[in-house]
Amino acid sequence: MRRASAAHAAEPADIQTRARAALDRRLRSDAQAPIAVCFSGGGDSLALLLTASGWAQAHGRRLIALHVDHQLQPQSAAWAAWCAEAAARLDVPFRTLAWRGEKPVRGLPAAARLARHRLLAKAAREAGARVMLLGHTADDLSETLAMRAEGSTTPLAREWGPSPVWPEGRGVFLLRPLLALERAEIRAWLTALGESWIDDPANADLRYARARARAAGAQGGARAEPLGPGTADIARAVTLEAGDVMRVERDRLGQAAPEAAHAFLSAACLCAGGGERPPRGERVEALAARLRGEAGVIATLAGARIEADGESVWLTREAGEAARGGLAEMAIPAGARLVWDGRYEICTPEPAAIRRLAGAAARLSPGQQRALSAIRAGARGALPLIVAGEAVHSPLLGPSAASAAFLAHARLLAACGAVEREPDR
């Protein structure tokens, strides 16, 4: 266990006030869903749990503490037990999540981060939580900036934003209430309270880029905004047309600040394509340059199909992606609710298969064929098709016992910062 020197002691009221301001800004005091807290047992996460516990008690909200055992250190089981005791002291329900299986030799930090987010998102959804609290500080942000300057692709932390994993993290938002606070003042505050915490030796292991950035003296206080100003406004202007085609006015992109247009296009292509990995920056810049012109555009990027005329830009799924492994057919049990192609959450009353509509339009009923004709031609082939025995239909083309909830639009709003606080449902 580790304690900090009290030399940098901060006023407890100041720490609490600054951290709780973010909770007040982003959370709804009247919501019924529990709030998940990522609790590693380190100093930052302990400060987070203490602050969140006080806020939750004052507002009648429930917490659940989630601890990820990466199984990378021999002490990890003891750390999990310590965290369980700390949560019990605060009367906060606790759960340990284990990252099992073989660990990669190369790229371990990135793999661990991805595994951690997947475990946390799944557990948060199972608990009914819409928000996950993380204990990142201003120092973490500064270290990330230093790492990125050296070529790292580690994402910049935002105070508020969606879970980075998909589809496991759909509907889950991350809040970092300590992001404006420095690590030294947090630890001084904990010391003043008589608290101790876990110190993971990996934080000082110079094989890892973050440990090197920390040892080099990356200081807290640096700020960076991952989204260009105005990105949320572009996302809010997106409308949905028949077949869940996302449309935005071309002028809105052309008149936006370049960084906002690029951030929007990156997110929009990712969401329309249903994937997990954003497109490369140079390809987004090339697409943005074409859209700033006046000529018609037909392009594909990150699994998305982009079409534009003089007035509008449409984004949908590229049906030809199937040749590269996308749009794979999926079996769905009766009553199950599964995500297909990263775009639709589908439920069927009987066992069925879900596949792309391309090549099967002639098998649809006359009514569904008429509905299909009203959808942009480039979007038709990637629509979900339900195949149950001899029955073939799409829940997007008329009355159906199956349901298909379109996920890409809500995902886009969250990714672009258009959702500013905890959803009210």
| pLDDT tens-digit series, residues 351-372 | 999 999 999 999 999 999 999 9
Q: What is residue 105's predicted lDDT score, i.e. its pLDDT?
A: 86
41 has binding-site annotation: yes
Residue 109 has pLDDT above 90, yes or no: no
Cβ atoms of residues 34 and 60 within 8 Å? no
For residues 74 and 208, which has the higher predicted lDDT (pLDDT)? 74
Mean model confidence pLDDT for the chain: 92
Residue 147 has pLDDT above 90, yes or no: no
Question: Which one-letter DSSP state was computed for residue 358?
Answer: T
User: pTM to 2 decimals?
Assistant: 0.92
> What is the per-residue pLDDT across 396-408, written as a single tens digit (0 to 9) for each?
999 999 999 999 9
Structural tokens at position 406: 């379109």
Q: What is residue 96's predicted lDDT score, i.e. its pLDDT?
A: 98
Those residues whose C-beta lies under 8 Å from the C-beta of residue 215, and which sit 6 or more positions away, are: 204, 206
Cβ atoms of residues 278 and 266 within 8 Å? yes
Q: How far apart are CA 261 and CA 239, in angstroms?
A: 17
Q: What is residue 133's predicted lDDT score, i.e. its pLDDT?
A: 98
Residue 2 has pLDDT above 60, yes or no: no
- Tokens 């606080």 belong to 421
251 has binding-site annotation: no
Closest of 328, 333, 330, 322 to residue 300, by C-alpha: 322
Average pLDDT over residues 72-79: 94
Count of H-run helices and E-run strands, the chain:
14, 18
Q: What is residue 9's predicted lDDT score, i.e. its pLDDT?
A: 45
Q: What is residue 226's predicted lDDT score, i.e. its pLDDT?
A: 67
Cβ atoms of residues 232 and 416 within 8 Å? yes
5 has binding-site annotation: no
Average pLDDT over residues 258-273: 97
Average pLDDT over residues 187-203: 90
266 has binding-site annotation: no
> What is the per-residue pLDDT across 295-323, written as a single tens digit (0 to 9) for each?
999 999 999 999 999 999 999 999 998 87
151 has binding-site annotation: no
Q: If you write DSSP's letter for every residue of 371-386 in order, what string do you get?
A: HHHTS-HHHHTTSEEE
Residue 207 has pLDDT above 70, yes or no: yes
24 has binding-site annotation: no
Count of beta carbons in the 10 Å neighbourhood of residue 202: 16
Average pLDDT over residues 91-112: 94
